[in-house]
């Protein structure tokens, strides 16, 4: 198969599970009526996207996603990657147009051994106390797989990720909290938010290390799709992307291990930035991203594919009735590419 154009998308499924199955502390789960609305809305979105690769987050049950794909009329034209999702935990998943997949998908739950977040001293700041962060794995296992977009280029490695949310970690039942609640209760939100941020940062480091192992001194094209739960210029995004330089005009370059954000590339093409994928307390944020290696960057000397635009479906975020309407609580991001190697 030799594609001249293709597109990828990322979709947060807003806790897609079979009806009547418990999720978190919700022992009843989705009612049959709520589930039917979710299937209808999600299947409509997939049909409208018609993307070659779609990454999913907040997937609880493979069978539920299979029903969505079937309702969209895509069962026989797409491979479904969701095997571990049995309804008891949250996973990342994907669908890939038939004929593109090469090999089997992998879900990575454990951090690579190269992740070591420990420092006894800081040469740049001698006053900084020692620090040790001990986290062994991802909150949501990272999905990765290979696709062949053309016979004349290397396989493309695709990652689907869902990093720890900004929601403060619940600490009320920790032994140290219960031993002295009067001391910690006034600060529970700040402490919980700090723990969540540290966890998300550690996950960004771990994923960055995995990406570097794939990308460094290679010509492997890489795409990262996901709910990364942080903004375009946040510290965690800077860790993930390795902050490549965006070159102006006719300048050429490209970063070996860097990832370019589709959001930034779209901003270069628009006169107004209206990119947001999540709304919380009237704050519009960009939490869902598509990141791309230099093989997809316009000004790279190693360019294989030309960025051909980004679109976001986020009108449903104007209404906070997602459970009743079946809509998701995140915007859907899609990016298009066309084959245009740098000559």
pLDDT tens, residue by residue, 63-76:
999 999 999 999 99
- Domain assignment present for residue 201? The answer is no
Considering all CA atoms of the chain, what is the largest pairwise distance in Å, rounded to the nearest integer? 67
pTM: 0.95
The phi and psi torsions of 324 (rounded to 5 degrees) equal -75, -35
CB count in 10 Å sphere of residue 267: 16
Domain residues for the domain of 15 are 5-109+141-163+222-339
* Residue 113 exposed, middle or buried by CB count within 10 Å (0-12, 13-18, 19+): exposed
- Domain assignment present for residue 331? The answer is yes
* Separation CA 53–CA 223 (nearest Å): 10
Least confident of 93-107, 227-241, 306-320: 306-320
Pairing mode, if any, of strands 101-110 and 137-147?
antiparallel
pLDDT at 123: 74
Strand (E) or helix (H) holding 92: strand 86-97
Pick from 233, 297, 308: which is nearest to 269 by CA?
Answer: 308
CATH number at residue 231: 3.60.10.10
Strand (E) or helix (H) holding 95: strand 86-97
Summary mean pLDDT of the chain:
94
- Domain assignment present for residue 127? The answer is no
- Domain assignment present for residue 178? The answer is no
- Domain assignment present for residue 177? The answer is no
* Separation CA 115–CA 202 (nearest Å): 8
- Domain assignment present for residue 49? The answer is yes
- Domain assignment present for residue 87? The answer is yes
- Which residues touch 123 (CB under 8 Å, ≥6 apart)? none
Question: For the chain, what percent of residues have pLDDT higher than 90?
Answer: 81
* Residue 118 exposed, middle or buried by CB count within 10 Å (0-12, 13-18, 19+): exposed
Angle value at C-alpha 214, between 162 and 250, nearest 5 degrees: 95
Task: Count up the domains in the chain and report the number.
Answer: 1
Q: Quick check: 192 pLDDT over 80?
A: yes
- Domain assignment present for residue 121? The answer is no
pLDDT tens, residue by residue, 267-305:
888 776 668 888 777 778 889 999 999 999 999 999 999
C-alpha R_g of the chain: 21
Continuous H helices in the chain? 32-49, 62-71, 175-179, 181-184, 188-215, 235-241, 262-267, 322-325
Sheet of 86-97, strands arranged across: 78-81, 86-97, 53-61, 5-16, 332-339, 305-313
- Which residues touch 150 (CB under 8 Å, ≥6 apart)? 1, 2, 3, 339
């Amino acid at each position: 198969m030799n594609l001249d154009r293709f597109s990828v998308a990322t979709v947060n499924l807003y806790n897609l599970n079979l009806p009547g199955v418990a999720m978190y502390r919700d022992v009843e789960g989705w009612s049959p009526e709520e589930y039917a609305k979710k299937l209808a809305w999600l299947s409509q979105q997939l049909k409208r996207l018609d993307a070659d690769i779609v990454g999913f987050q907040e997937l609880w049950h493979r069978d539920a996603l299979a029903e969505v794909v079937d309702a969209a009329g895509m069962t026989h034209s797409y491979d479904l990657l969701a095997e571990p999702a049995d309804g008891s935990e949250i996973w990342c998943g994907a669908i890939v147009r038939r004929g593109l997949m090469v090999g089997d998908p992998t879900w990575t739950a454990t951090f690579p051994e190269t992740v070591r977040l420990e420092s006894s001293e800081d040469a740049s700041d001698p006053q900084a106390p020692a620090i040790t962060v001990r986290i062994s794995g991802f909150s949501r296992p990272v999905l990765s797989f290979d696709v062949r977009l053309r016979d004349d280029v290397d396989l493309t490695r695709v990652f689907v990720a869902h990093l720890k949310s900004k929601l403060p970690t619940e600490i009320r039942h920790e032994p140290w909290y219960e031993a002295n609640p009067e001391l910690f209760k006034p600060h529970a939100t700040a402490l919980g938010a700090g723990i969540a941020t540290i966890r998300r940062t550690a996950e960004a480091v771990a994923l960055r290390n995995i990406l570097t192992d794939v990308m460094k001194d290679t010509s492997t094209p890489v795409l990262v799709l996901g709910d990364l739960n942080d903004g375009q210029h946040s510290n965690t995004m800077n860790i993930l992307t390795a902050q490549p330089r965006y070159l102006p005009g006719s300048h050429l370059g490209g970063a070996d291990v860097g990832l370019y954000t589709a959001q930034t590339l779209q901003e270069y093409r628009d006169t107004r930035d209206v990119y947001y994928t999540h709304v919380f307390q009237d704050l519009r944020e960009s939490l869902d991203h598509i990141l791309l290696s230099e093989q997809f960057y316009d000004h790279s000397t190693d360019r294989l594919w030309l960025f051909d635009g980004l679109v976001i479906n986020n009108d449903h975020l104007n209404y906070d009735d997602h459970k009743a309407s079946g809509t998701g609580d995140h915007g859907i991001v899609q990016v298009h590419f066309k084959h245009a190697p740098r000559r």
